Amino acid sequence: MAQRGKGNAKIKVKDLNLFYGEKQALFGVSLDINEKEVTALIGPSGCGKSTFLRTLNRMNDLIDSVKITGDIIINDENIYTSSDVIKLRTKVGMVFQKPNLFPMSIYDNVAYGPRGQGIKNKKELDKIVEESLRGAAIWDEVKDRLKTSALGLSGGQQQRVCIARAIAMKPDVILMDEPTSALDPISTLKVEELITQMKEDFTIVIVTHNMQQAARISDKTAFFLNGEVVEYDETDNIFSTPKDQRTEDYVTGRFG
Ligand SMILES: Nc1ncnc2c1ncn2[C@@H]1O[C@H](COP(=O)(O)OP(=O)(O)OP(=O)(O)O)[C@@H](O)[C@H]1O
């Protein structure tokens, strides 16, 4: 049995290859992602960051042409040999680039997942909704308008409600695909602060194009290039003393 707790491997990826039809998009990716840390995935456009992120909760399964080899172990279970994809997606939640709330109230957005799991009791749902919105640092801003449309919120608020919606499923891992790229600088800062708080409770993997963001919020950083992981290390090392020339060129803005 693997150890549990902060700093131990929560996700183990071994020799992962991914093909879209004939085209190979990931080449022999192997890395361990630590529990209750923030892991950033960086690299130029098209290098496979989002593809890799989506392998962690089997989102690529939705694309017919995708073929995957290798292993991904989460909580000691190989997610590609286990058939329970619904349970996997409950444990490994996802937040997308653009807020994608449903056209319904703030309350109903956050309660949507728990209701789908069969929770109908109003008191219980109220508690989950409040805890999730507090967990996403947006409770105070929305507590008096829970029954109004979520689409009336600002983009930054909507993104935090999306994070609350993910938290409501009580996941272990939260995947974030460029969660601040559609936000203004102040909303971005709020989401970054939120991510830093959230790692107390969750393992977070985030794709970002923003190098300062990776440096500010992540513990470890993986640099992807052409579908390969060139370098994976403590974030401080990646940004101050990278071992590979290509990493150095990228983090100093020489390409990408
Ligand atoms: N559904 C798909 N079908 C076929 N090819 C795809 C699909 N999705 C991505 N690709 C290809 O796989 C490669 C990796 O794409 P991916 O989106 O993972 O890169 P990325 O690093 O996340 O890029 P970006 O930073 O621009 O979002 C690219 O060549 C892309 O064109």
pLDDT 10s digits, 127-181: 999 999 999 999 999 999 999 999 999 999 999 999 999 999 999 999 999 999 9
Closest residue by CA, ligand 1 atom 31: 46
For residue 229, give the CATH number of its domain: 3.40.50.300
Interface ipTM > 0.85: yes
Q: Is residue 150 part of a domain?
A: no
Q: What is the distance in A from the centroid of ligand 1 to the CA of 170?
A: 29
Q: What percentage of residues in the chain have a pLDDT greater than 90?
A: 91
Q: What percentage of residues in the chain have a pLDDT greater than 70?
A: 98
Which pLDDT value is given to residue 237? Answer: 97
Here the tokens at position 212 are: 């300062």
Q: Is residue 243 part of a domain?
A: yes
Q: Is residue 156 part of a domain?
A: no
Q: Is residue 179 part of a domain?
A: yes
Confidence of residue 4 (pLDDT cuts 50, 70, 90): low
Q: Is residue 42 part of a domain?
A: yes
Which atom of ligand 1 has the smallest separation from the CA of 207? 22
Closest residue by CA, ligand 1 atom 14: 48
- Give how many domains the chain has, as a whole number: 1
- Global confidence as pTM: 0.94
Q: Is residue 166 part of a domain?
A: no
Average pLDDT for the chain: 94
Q: Which residue range is the domain that position 206 belongs to? A: 9-100+173-251
Q: Is residue 22 part of a domain?
A: yes
Here the tokens at position 17 are: 């290859």
CB 56 within 8 A of CB 205: yes
CA distance 194 to 209: 18
Mutate to test the pocket of ligand 1, among 50, 180, 224 (most ligand atoms within 8 A of CB): 50
Q: Is residue 135 part of a domain?
A: no
